[in-house]
Amino acid sequence: MKAIGFKTSLPINESESFIEFETPIPEAKGRDILVKIKAISVNPVDFKIRQNSAKDTVLENPKVIGWDATGTVEAIGEEVSFFKPGDEVYYAGDLNRSGSNSEYQLIDERIVGLKPHTLSNAEAAAMPLTALTAWESLYDRIRINNQKDSGKSILIIGGAGGVGSIAIQLAKKVSGLKVITTASRPETKDWCKAMGADVVVDHKNLVEEVRAAGFKEVDFILDFVDLNSYWDNLVELIKPQGHIVSITGSATPVALNKLKNKSVTFSWELMYTRSMYQTDDMGEQHHILNKLAELFDNGTLKTTLNTTLNGFTVENLKEAHRLLESGKTIGKVVIEY
C-alpha cells in the first residue's frame, strides 16, 4: 500500500519533508479493524509532531502521522464486536500507532464510530479529533448538565479554529449556553457567528470587550489557543466556582494559585488520553462518535470542513501543513483520496 511519511523533521518547503513509500497492508487482529481510507484531515498536532519528533536524526523507517480519517472496514480482528466488513467509519486515531496518512490503517474499534450518513467522506473526516476534544472538554471535564446549566455563559478562546468551531455548536445547540468567542478578522468573526456564537470579541482587548458585551464574568472558559498568553484575563473573567479547560499545554508553570480565592476548577483536556493509556473507559470514544453522528444526521450539528484538497499526494499533504502552519486557517482542511 502507499503511505506518506518522513524520516527527519524538516521545514515543510523542503523536498523530503514528506516522502511517499510502499509498505505491506497490515493484518487485523484482536480488537483492531483494518480501514481502507477515503479521506483524512490535518490538525495542528500533525505539523507539531512533524516538526519535532525527528529533530537531528534520520529514522530508519518513515514515520507516518495523521489522526483523522473516514473509510470502509476491510477486515476485523477476532475480538471485534462493534463493526463488520463494509461498515463506513470515522475516527481520530492513537498517538502511539502509525497514523492515517496511508491507504489502509489498523485502528482499535473502541475509538472508532460509524460515519454520519448525511456527511460526505470529506465532511466526516473533518470532525473526529476536534469533535471528540470539544465533547470531552464540555461533558467529561466541565461536566455540563444540559438542564442545570442551560443559559449559563461560556467563553471560547479561538472560535474559528477546528476545535472552536465545533465547540461553539455543542455549547449553543446541544447545551443551550450563551456563547462568547474570540476572533479578530472579519472572516473569522463571520464564521463564528455562522457556527452559532452569540457574541464575538477581539482577543486583543478580551476583558474590556467581554464586559462591554454585558458579561462581568463567565461561568465556563475553554482555551484552544495559548493558555499562558491569556491566563490573567481568564482569571479575571471566570466566575467564582467556575471551570476553565485548556487543550494547549504550557511551556512554563501555570499560576493556579490565582484561582484559589474564587475556588475555580481547572482541567487539562487531551483527546488521546484514553487510547494512550488504554483506560478502562476507552470505549467511550466509540459511543461519543456515534452520538455525534446522530447529531450531524439530525441537523443539530454541521461539519466544519472549509478546505478540500483532492488526491492523496505528497504535494497535497505539504499544502495542508502549510495552511495549518500559517495560523490563519478557518475550520478544517481535508484531503480526499
Structural domains of the chain in order of their starting residue, each with its CATH number = 2-127+280-336 (3.90.180.10), 130-268 (3.40.50.720)
| Partners of residue 178 on adjacent β-strands | 153
Contacts of 316 (CB under 8 A, 6+ apart): 309, 310, 335
State the pTM of this model.
Answer: 0.96
Provide the Cα torsion 61, 106, 311, 129; round to 10°. Answer: -100
For residue 66, the model assigns a pLDDT of 97
**Lookup: cell for 65:** 502521522
pLDDT tens-digit profile of 229-276? 999 999 999 999 999 999 998 888 999 999 999 999 999 999 999 999
Query: Cα torsion at 210, 213, 214, 215 (round to 10°)?
Result: -20
Q: How many CA atoms lie within 13 A of 80 on its CB side?
A: 24
C-alpha cell at 125: 473526516
CA distance 191 to 189: 5
Quote the CA–CA distance of 230 and 30 in Å, as a whole number: 45
* Dihedral angle computed from the Cα positions of residues 171, 135, 308 and 329, in that order, rounded to the nearest 10 degrees: 60
Spans of the chain below 70 pLDDT: none
Length reported for the chain: 337
At residue 131, what is the residue type? A
Q: List 112's β-bridge partners, or say none.
A: 91
